[in-house]
Structure 1
Amino acid sequence: MTRSRTRVDAHVKVLDDDVVALAKERGIDALVYAPHFTRLTTVRERAARYADDDLTIVPGREVFTGDWGNRRHLLVVGLDEPVPDYITFEAAMAEFDRQEAAVLVPHPGFATISLTRPEIAAHAERLAAVETYNTKLLPHQNARTRRIAEVTDQPGFGSSYAHLPGTVGEAWTEFDGDLDDADAVVDAFREERPRTVVHRGGVGHQLRGLVEFAHLGYENTWEKLDRLFLSGDEPTLPTNVVYEGRFNDVSVYSGTLSDYRPK
């Protein structure tokens, strides 16, 4: 008898009709949708719009902790209440603990935006998994992520980390059993259920990864943040009215737009 499995592309930034069609074509059963600088309510609404019986969409947040020059990204699923970007790492982790959310470590050890091996080791009991394959990373960087997971004794996960629609389904986390909805996927991570990290191969996969890696130049520029924040909405800054002042005392900036600009 064939054992059932559930394929989860555990981190994507894009979601539309083309993304959904490609995910299904590539045999993906669930996507974790966690766009940058987007409120949890907005993520949930968009996830609900595109989910159907054949593709589960799990709302997630990639929270930026710390300041722009020394930020640590945390991929979080299972949140009940919104958590802003640019608060201290410990404040963010305390809030995730309070909500019993599953905290995943994306692209560990990468540049100045990721948890380091000592940080992962120090917080191991508070983490649900460490990314061991990310399509956007280069081969030597993915080899490093696997070593980090091994030495810190953390479960792995894999994702396309798709910022571009054509990358969705290039890598995934394959769990034993049927995970029928978003809550089941969150529970699988939270409970550290058995899984395998899988990715596509061949020249096409390698080229797709290089295109995504090149896209980092845009993703990490202030020009992009200007386009997000100059609207005046500033949706995930801790001083936004949606957070009702709960995070003002743990914000790493004073709250004006100019204070968020890298020096």
Structure 2
Amino acid sequence: MKFDMHCHTKEGSMDGKVMIEEYIRTLKRKGFGGMLVSDHDSYDGYREWKNAIKGRAHQDFVVLKGVEYDTCDCGHILVIMPFGVKLKILELRGLPGSILVKIVHAYGGILGPAHPYGEKFMSMISTNERKKKYQQRIAQLLPQFDFVEIFNACESAETNAKAKRLAEKFNKPGFGGSDAHRLDCIGKAYTELPDTIRSEDDLIAYVKTCPQIECGGEHYNGTTKDRIGRLNMVLVDSFYFYNKLANGWRWRKRRRELFDIIEKKL
């Protein structure tokens, strides 16, 4: 069964353009059986599914709850938690990657780098490759991840190939996802999963026991980078400052949630 494992909705991502129900309809028309909702630091897209759609429509389609978390030092990380686990801190961007790994695993979840060779500040390898401690950081963190996104429809063939080699080097299963924010990108990438995957718990158990997962797709050539070329670097640099400001704005809430987690789990 085909899943799109990297999906942004209008309800949950400020740059998302497609409502979750339209997203589902589009994937179903393209032969998909499920999706991972992975909005930026938010579960609002999944909440819309759970509160307004689930049980009323699309009962033949699997919607899994995830998040694309903005770390302060490792770019974007895809996170899937067990069913019923609710952590406010996963909607408060800005944790270091090393702390995020500990929290997710303490609660039984899985995580992995999204588009690891993509844009700087948004991707794990690109964020760290020019730093002196790059090799040490990667060597420490990558073995602790549970998977790597090895095909992202919005990334080039070259960066996806590098991501695949990274997963192979550390013997991690690979995910494929469209990273769609617009309608015409939906379903451009897939991950092949068994029909038995019906929940986050099913997915977590499968990933932990399966060294290889089939995935692939086609390149989407309608990204902002494709449309504006070198000017995209202005947006990338702007994201760096936005991320720093957003991290600082949430630090008090993040600290309270982190202390609570440390007392309970770490």
TM category, shorter:
0.7 to 0.9
| 1:47 aligned residue (46, 49, 56) | 49
Q: 1:145 to 1:85 in 2, by over 3 A?
A: same
Matches within 5 A, 1:18-33: 18-33=22-37
Q: Which TM-score applies when normalising by structure 2?
A: 0.72
Q: 1:186 to 1:82 in 2, by over 3 A?
A: farther
Deviation for aligned residue 1:18: 2.0
Q: 1:193 to 1:146 in 2, by over 3 A?
A: closer
Check whether the contact 2:80–2:200 (CA below 8 A) recurs between aligned residues: no
What SS does the corresponding residue of 2:78 show, helix, strand or coil? strand
Check whether the contact 1:13–1:34 (CA below 8 A) recurs between aligned residues: yes
Task: Quote the Cα distance in structure 1 between the aligned partners of 2:41 and 2:242.
Answer: 9
Matches within 5 A, 1:185-224: 185-192=203-210, 194-200=212-218, 206=219, 208-211=220-223, 213-214=225-226, 217=232, 220=236, 221-222=238-239
Q: Which TM-score applies when normalising by structure 1?
A: 0.72
What SS does the corresponding residue of 1:133 show, helix, strand or coil? strand
What SS does the corresponding residue of 1:17 show, helix, strand or coil? helix
Deviation for aligned residue 1:170: 0.9
Matches within 5 A, 1:106-117: 106-110=114-118, 111-116=120-125
Q: Which residue of 1 aligns with 2:256?
A: 245
Q: Which residue of 2 aligns with 1:78?
A: 81
Task: Quote the Cα distance in structure 2 between the aligned partners of 1:223 and 1:246.
Answer: 24
Task: Quote the Cα distance in structure 1 between the aligned partners of 2:31 and 2:235.
Answer: 28
List 4+ stretches of structure 1 deviating above 6 A. Answer: none
Deviation for aligned residue 1:174: 0.0
Deviation for aligned residue 1:145: 1.2
Per-residue deviation, residues 98-152 of structure 1 (Å, max 9, x unmatched): 1111112211132232223955543344222111110000111111111211222
Task: Quote the Cα distance in structure 1 between the aligned partners of 2:200 and 2:108.
Answer: 15
Q: Which residue of 2 aligns with 1:105?
A: 113
Check whether the contact 1:57–1:182 (CA below 8 A) recurs between aligned residues: no
